[in-house]
Structure 1
Amino acid sequence: MIREELFGKLQEIFRDIFDDETLEISDSTNSSDIDDWDSINHINLVVAIENEIHIKFSFDDLAALKNVGAMVDLMMVKMTK
């Protein structure tokens, strides 16, 4: 899967979790950019990504992420292992 395809899937997951069909994410999107991105929705987001993309994040993986772009990059690495 190429980065653009993965980003598209991630866009769908974000729209579903935050219940906003108009939500647009970018590489620089982070939790302060989305009003409803609280700890509960963060967990829901991670679980949805893990289930949809069939990868697993460690706590250290998640703690190091600063934005959506970093998440996509990490997902790309995990998918090649």
Structure 2
Amino acid sequence: MDQSAILARLTEIVRTLFDEYDGPVDASLNAKAVKQWDSLANVQFMVLVEQAFKVRFTVSEITGLKNVGELMQVIQKKLGH
């Protein structure tokens, strides 16, 4: 799965979970940019990402992420690309 396909799927998740957010979803997006994105929403987001890509993240992977771009890199690595 290439970066554009990963971003497209992440965009769907962001739009579903954060329905009030209508800004751009790109590699630079982070929780600070989305009003609804608090710690509980972050857990929900990561669960949805794990389900969508059929991967699992460690706590250190999750806490080390700074933005969607870094998440995309971790997903791509886990998918073996």
Q: Indicate the TM-score class for this superposition, using the shorter chain for normalisation.
A: over 0.9
TM-score by length of 2: 0.92
Task: Tell me which residue corresponds to 1:54.
Answer: 54
Q: Give the superposed CA RMSD.
A: 1.5
Deviation at 1:21, TM superposition (A): 7.2
| Identical residues among aligned pairs (%) | 26
Which 4+ runs in 1 deviate beyond 2 A? 20-24
Structure 1 gap segments, 5+ residues each: none
1:40-69, Cα deviation, whole Å (9 max, x unpaired)? 110110000001110001000011111110
2:59 corresponds to 1:75: no
Aligned residues: 81
* TM-score (norm: length of structure 1): 0.92
Q: Distance in 2 between matches of 1:47 and 1:69?
A: 18
Query: Which residue of the partner structure matches residue 25 of structure 1?
Result: 25
